[in-house]
C-alpha cells in the first residue's frame, strides 16, 4: 500500500548564497531567497525575465552584458551589498508565496552589520523580503543596527508584472540618488 505520509511530500529545502559586499558598503539590497534558476546557476537574480540586472545596468553599469563577476564588482564598487533575508527554507518552485514559513532560517544580520557598519539604508526587493526581515530579523537586532532605515522597493520579479518596467526603474533610481548623496 502506498504511503500517504506528508513527510514524503516535503518541499525541497533551498539554501541562499553568501552576501556580496565590500566592508565599506553603504546600502544593502535584500531579496527573500534565491529561486530555482538562481540556485542552479549559483547567481543572484539569474532568471532572465527578472528586471534586477537590467535596472542595475541602467543605474550602475552592472547589466547582463557583463559577466556575473563583473556585475557584482560594479555593485560593490558603487557601495551596494547584496544578500537575502532567508538563509534556508523549504519552498517548492521559486515563488515567495510558496516559502514554508515554519521552515525559514534567517541569515545572521547581527554579524553582517557588525562587519559592514557603514550600511545606512536597507532596501527590500519586494514585499516578501520586507515582511520576513521585519518578522524574523529586526526583533533580534541590537542598536544601532535595529534603527538602520529601510525602504521597500518594487519587486523586480517577473511575477510582479503589474508594474511596468519604467515605473520599477524610476522607483529603483532612488538608490542611485541615495548613494550619490552619501558619497
Question: pLDDT tens across 8-49, in order?
Answer: 356 678 889 999 999 999 999 999 988 889 989 999 999 999
**How far apart (Å, rounded) are the C-alpha atoms in residues 163 and 155?**
9
Contacts of residue 32, Cβ cutoff 8 Å, sequence gap at least 6: 84, 85, 86, 96, 99, 125, 126, 128, 129, 132
Residue 117 banded pLDDT, cuts 50, 70, 90: very high
User: Is 50 an active-site residue?
Assistant: yes
Report the pLDDT value the prediction gives residue 13, as an integer from 0 to 100.
84
Q: Grid coordinates representing 3?
A: 504511503
Residue 16 contacts by C-beta under 8 Å, 6 or more apart in sequence? Answer: 33, 34, 83, 84, 86, 87, 88, 107
Distance CA 82, CA 89 (A): 19
Residue 1, pLDDT score? 39
Specify whether the CB–CB gap between 127 and 154 falls below 8 A: no
Q: Would you state the cell numbers that stand for residue 7, as one nine-digit string? A: 513527510
Q: Which helix (H) or strand (E) holds 140?
A: none
Q: Residue 19: helix, strand or coil by DSSP?
A: coil
Determine how many CB atoms are found less than 10 A away from the CB of residue 124: 24
pLDDT of res. 10: 64
Nearest-10 crossing angle of helices 52-60, 165-182: 40
Q: Which of 22, 50, 107, 125 is catalytic?
A: 50
DSSP 15: E
The backbone torsions φ and ψ at residue 67, rounded to the nearest 5 degrees and listed phi first, read: -65, 160
Q: What is the pTM of this model?
A: 0.90
Tell me the fold of 14-182.
Uracil-DNA Glycosylase, subunit E (3.40.470)
Domain borders along the chain are 14-182
Amino acid at each position: 500500500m502506498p504511503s500517504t505520509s506528508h513527510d514524503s511530500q516535503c518541499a525541497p529545502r533551498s539554501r541562499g548564497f553568501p552576501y556580496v559586499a565590500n566592508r565599506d558598503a553603504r546600502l544593502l539590497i535584500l531579496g527573500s531567497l534565491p529561486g530555482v534558476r538562481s540556485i542552479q546557476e549559483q547567481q543572484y537574480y539569474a532568471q532572465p525575465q527578472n528586471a534586477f540586472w537590467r535596472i542595475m545596468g541602467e543605474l550602475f553599469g552592472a547589466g547582463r552584458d557583463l559577466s556575473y563577476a563583473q556585475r557584482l564588482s560594479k555593485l560593490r564598487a558603487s557601495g551596494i551589498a547584496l544578500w537575502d533575508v532567508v538563509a534556508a527554507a523549504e519552498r517548492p518552485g521559486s515563488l515567495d508565496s510558496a516559502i514554508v514559513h515554519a521552515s525559514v532560517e534567517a541569515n545572521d544580520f547581527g554579524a553582517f552589520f557588525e562587519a559592514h557598519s557603514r550600511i545606512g539604508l536597507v532596501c527590500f526587493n519586494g514585499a516578501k523580503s520586507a515582511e520576513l526581515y521585519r518578522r524574523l530579523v529586526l526583533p533580534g537586532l541590537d542598536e544601532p543596527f535595529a534603527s538602520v532605515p529601510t525602504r521597500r522597493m518594487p519587486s523586480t520579479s517577473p511575477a510582479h508584472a503589474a508594474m511596468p518596467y519604467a515605473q520599477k526603474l524610476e522607483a529603483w533610481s532612488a538608490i542611485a540618488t541615495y548613494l550619490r548623496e552619501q558619497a
